[in-house]
A and B are shown apart, each in its own frame.
Chain A
Amino acid sequence: MSAASTRALSAEGLRARARVLRAVRGWLHEHGYLEVPTPALVPSPAMEEHLFAVPAGDHFLRTSPEFALKRVLAAGLPRIYEIGPCFRDREHGAWHGREFTMLEWYRAGAGPDEVMDEVEALVAAAAAALDVSPPSTWRRTTVRQLFEQATGIDLATAIASDLSEHDEPWDDAFLRRWVADVEPGFSGGLFVTAWPASQAALSQVRSDGPWPAAQRFETYLDGVELANGFLELIDPTEQRRRFAASNAARAAAGEAPHPLDEAFVRAVGRMPRTTGIALGIDRLVAVLAGWEGIAPGRVEHPAD
């Protein structure tokens, strides 16, 4: 690559982005995925407590296309994807933008390991489009193992005060240590599996292991969080319960509740066993190109 800036918008950055987008769409098409555009304007934004939607009139800008794509899955299309803008308020920094480009793809009948294989292949295709080497190795390991290696603490038995000197809930204490002591040691390609059940979001939880583990995997590339995959929850009763719990937490924190998307909850009950994944395109381009953030590949308004 040329000596273009690794921190600021450049023509070279936009070319890299375009090449990656073409390669990603090509890979998905070759593997039988249908591109399905869904509305950016949604009646109900994502469920998770720590996502903040940007309001738009009587609707919201979507935080992800997940609800709409799951309705399409429930209608019988087994392999679908969407690439498009998503919006998350209160997120900004070298690796974050309030508006960003998300790729989500869903594969009915597949489990997490098959989709992890696909991530490896898709990243390799994107790397080839930029004439750079993909990660030479990919590891698949659990949250618990990584946490113990970095801190010596076994998460399965740790209580909040073992994790943090701050008086805070277990999840916050866990994530504070994760961000401060575990994540900074990551390199290469890494899939982190078996998340605490409290951080399941829209994934299934299994109870036959050492702890109730969310069937969710986070993909890291050279230390940057790139993608989040779920063995998708297909139980509408549990889905309704999680919505209520998230809204209760949001209310307790003084935030407005998000409206329940009934069409989505009904669709959850009609979905086949599916693994789905959301991948940040801006970050994929930036990490492969070796930038110090997502800026070189994004046109932004000067004030943003």
Chain B
Amino acid sequence: MYQTSDIRKGLKVEIDGNPYIVVEFQFVKPGKGQAFTRTKLKNLLTGSVLDRTFKTGETLEPTDIEEKEMQYLYEDGEFYHFMDTGDFSQVAITHEVVGDAKNYLLEEMVATVMFYKGNPISIEVPNFVELEITYCEPGVKGNTATGATKTATLSTGLEVQVPLFIEQGEVLKIDTRTREYVGRVN
């Protein structure tokens, strides 16, 4: 059981049979009345956002969310397989749950897998990953200032825009939140 004074960004709670995470909160005490905490909550299953206002003294239910650091092993066409680096147990995760993270997953990479009531519901990859270019047009020397770009295909199949001087085979640092090229890794 959580009290309203426990409400923080990132607190995970169960509401109407769904897991939610607090994304925003504000303590408010209008004029001469009771104090309330206004919250914005994100549904961890659907991503939809809910506004809820809790009166001081009301309680919030904890939710059965567990996060584990897991190593990505391989993909078999149907599932992505991950291993718990602690007890070596494995879990198979659907394409749907892996979602956008598939663009950044390389074998042996460690990602954070979130479980709700024991079932995997989402994967979080590091903010920055390093991926090799498997294909791009040859580099153009000296053309660094124009801001022109070309498309590069990375080892995971992800395509990003890169400056013209970049060569095939180079390793790039990619921001997984924006899907953008950050720089070369030397």
Known contacts A176-B55, A180-B38: A50-B33 contact under CB 8 Å:
yes
User: Which of the residues A96, A172, A176, A195 comes within 8 Å of B31, measured between beta carbons?
Assistant: A195
Chain B residues closer than 8 Å to A184, beta-carbon distance: 38
Question: DSSP majority for the A interface?
Answer: mixed
Q: Are B32 and A168 in contact (CB under 8 A)?
A: no
Instruction: Tell me the residues in window 68-93 of chain A with beta carbons closer than 8 Å to chain B beta carbons.
Output: 90-93
Instruction: Give the B interface residue count (CB, 8 A).
Output: 16
Is B117 located at the chain interface by the 8 A CB criterion?
no
Encode A203-243 as 1/0 by CB contact (under 8 A) with B.
Answer: 00000000000001010000001001000000000000000
Q: Which residues of B contact A166 (CB under 8 A)?
A: 55
Q: Is B35 an interface residue (CB 8 A)?
A: yes
- Contact (A48, B32) CB under 8 Å given A91-B27, A94-B26: yes
Measured between alpha carbons, how far is A114 from B26 in the docked complex, in Å?
33
In the assembled complex, A183 has its CB within 8 A of some CB on chain B: yes
Q: Does A175 contact B (CB under 8 A)?
A: yes
B residues 50-65 near A (Cβ < 8 Å) are 51, 53, 55-56
Q: Hey, what's the 0/1 contact readout for B24-60 against A, CB within 8 Å counting as 1?
A: 0011111111111010000000000001010110000
- In the complex formed, the residue of B with least CB distance to A88 is B29
B26 touches A176 (CB 8 A): no
Question: How far apart sit A261 and B28, CA to CA, in the bound complex (Å)?
Answer: 29
A179 touches B32 (CB 8 A): no
Contact with B32, one of A50, A95, A180 (Cβ below 8 angstroms)? A50
Closest to B39 in A: A180
CB closest chain-B residue, reference A201: B32
Is A199's CB under 8 angstroms from B29's CB? Answer: no
The B interface, classified by DSSP as helix, strand, loop or mixed, is strand
When C-beta atoms are compared, the residue in chain B nearest to A169 turns out to be: B34
Is B27 within 8 A of A95, CB to CB? yes
Are A179 and B53 neighbours in the complex by a CB distance under 8 Å? Answer: yes
**Interface size bucket, A side?**
20 to 34
The answer to whether A179 and B38 touch (CB under 8 A), given A50-B32, A172-B55, is yes
Q: Confirm or deny: A118 has a beta carbon within 8 angstroms of a beta carbon on chain B.
A: no
**What are the residues of chain B within 8 A of A48 when measuring CB–CB?**
32
Q: Are A96 and B34 in contact (CB under 8 A)?
A: no
A179–B26 Cα gap in the complex (Å)?
11
Cα of A228 to Cα of B38 in the assembled complex, Å: 21
- CA distance in complex: A92, B4 (Å): 12
Q: Select which of A50, A172, A195, A201 is within 8 A of B29 by beta carbon.
A: A50
Query: Are B31 and A179 in contact, with the CB atoms below 8 A?
Result: no
Chain B nearest CB: distance from A184 CB in Å? 8
**Bound: A294/B56 CA distance, A:** 22
Given contacts A172-B33, A183-B28, A183-B30, 10 further A-B contacts (CB under 8 A): A48-B32, A50-B32, A93-B27, A95-B26, A176-B55, A178-B30, A179-B28, A184-B38, A200-B32, A201-B32
Q: List 30 A-B contacts (CB under 8 A).
A: A50-B29, A50-B35, A90-B56, A91-B27, A92-B27, A93-B27, A94-B26, A95-B27, A95-B28, A96-B27, A166-B55, A168-B55, A171-B34, A172-B33, A175-B33, A175-B36, A176-B53, A176-B55, A180-B36, A183-B28, A183-B30, A184-B38, A195-B31, A199-B32, A201-B31, A201-B32, A216-B31, A216-B32, A218-B30, A225-B30
Interface residues of B, Cβ cutoff 8 Å to A? 26-36, 38, 51, 53, 55-56
Chain A interface residues (CB < 8 Å from chain B): 48, 50, 90-96, 166, 168, 171-172, 175-176, 178-180, 183-184, 195, 199-201, 216, 218, 225, 228
